[in-house]
Chains A and B, each alone.
Chain A
Amino acid sequence: KAGVTQTPRYLIKTRGQQVTLSCSPISGHRSVSWYQQTPGQGLQFLFEYFSETQRNKGNFPGRFSGRQFSNSRSEMNVSTLELGDSALYLCASSLLADYEQYFGPGTRLTVT
């Protein structure tokens, strides 16, 4: 069974631009979560989707948004990029609510 895939793996953007990251969960998994990882803050929860519904959202500004499609694939969008948004963005999928999560390799975003 294929794992969680994320595209692109690396991205360089300029301040003020926007970016869209994509995540394809493990086949059959309906829950997709997004996390931001930085050296200073560690892994921080962004949001979780289950059957196209956002069920929980972390403490991030409204510039961070996401969505999930009917095939469980998910995207997250960051608008008006800031230097502090440079991070590894990780997507994780799980079979059911409150179940074990499996992570993708992440998208390394650099904002210059």
Chain B
Amino acid sequence: TQLLEQSPQFLSIQEGENLTVYCNSSSVFSSLQWYRQEPGEGPVLLVTVVTGGEVKKLKRLTFQFGDARKDSSLHITAAQPGDTGLYLCAGHGNYKLTFGKGTLLTVNP
């Protein structure tokens, strides 16, 4: 069974702080995706990483995929209240996404 573990489970920070959340897998996926979900809505795709060692930047968000393609991290610089939400990582393989349980981020103004 492929599992994805995310840490921390909860994170509450002040506006302007930096943060990193982690996603670790027991196995290799063909690709890994990060999503952000707001209450009552579906997850919104942020990025897909495919290649081991890959780094992608999306404005203040930086995504890294581990060399062995079993772990990933999301770093947010100068967090803003609009970054508040549930951050989910998901591994893609065998026609399905396997999700971690997410990191619930609260950015206080």
Q: Which residues of A contact B (CB under 8 A)?
A: 4, 31, 33, 35, 42-45, 48, 50, 55-56, 58, 90, 92, 97-98, 100-106, 108
Q: Are B98 and A45 in contact (CB under 8 A)?
A: yes
Inside 8 A of B93's CB, which chain A residues have their CB? 98
Q: Which residues of B contact A (CB under 8 A)?
A: 30-31, 33, 35, 40-45, 48, 88, 90, 92-102
Inside 8 A of A43's CB, which chain B residues have their CB? 43, 88, 90, 97, 99
Select from chain A the residue with minimum beta-carbon distance to B47.
Answer: A100
Inside 8 A of B101's CB, which chain A residues have their CB? 42
The 10 closest A-B pairs by CB, nearest first: A103-B42, A43-B99, A42-B101, A56-B95, A45-B96, A55-B95, A48-B95, A103-B43, A105-B42, A106-B42
Give bound CA distance, A50 to B95, whole Å.
9
Q: Are A56 and B96 in contact (CB under 8 A)?
A: yes
Q: Are B45 and A102 in contact (CB under 8 A)?
A: yes
Select from chain B the residue with minimum beta-carbon distance to A90.
Answer: B42
Q: Are B96 and A103 in contact (CB under 8 A)?
A: no
Q: Which of B35, B41, B92, B102 is close to A105, meaning CB atoms less than 8 Å apart? A: B41
Q: Are B92 and A98 in contact (CB under 8 A)?
A: yes
Give bound CA distance, A90 to B86, whole Å.
15
Inside 8 A of A101's CB, which chain B residues have their CB? 33, 45, 97
Tell me how far the C-beta of A36 lies from the nearest C-beta in chain B, rounded to whole angstroms.
Answer: 11
Task: Tell whether A4 pairs with B42 under 8 Å between CB atoms, given A33-B96, A55-B95, A56-B96.
Answer: yes
Q: Are B42 and A104 in contact (CB under 8 A)?
A: yes
Q: Which of A33, A55, A105 is close to B97, meaning CB atoms less than 8 Å apart? A: A33
Inside 8 A of B95's CB, which chain A residues have their CB? 31, 33, 48, 50, 55-56, 97-98
Inside 8 A of A42's CB, which chain B residues have their CB? 99-102
Given contacts A42-B100, A56-B96, A106-B42, 11 further A-B contacts (CB under 8 A): A4-B42, A42-B101, A43-B90, A43-B97, A43-B99, A55-B95, A90-B42, A92-B42, A98-B31, A100-B33, A101-B45
A–B Cβ pairs within 8 angstroms, 18 of them: A4-B42, A33-B96, A42-B99, A42-B101, A42-B102, A43-B43, A43-B88, A43-B90, A44-B99, A55-B95, A90-B42, A98-B93, A100-B33, A101-B45, A101-B97, A105-B40, A106-B40, A108-B40
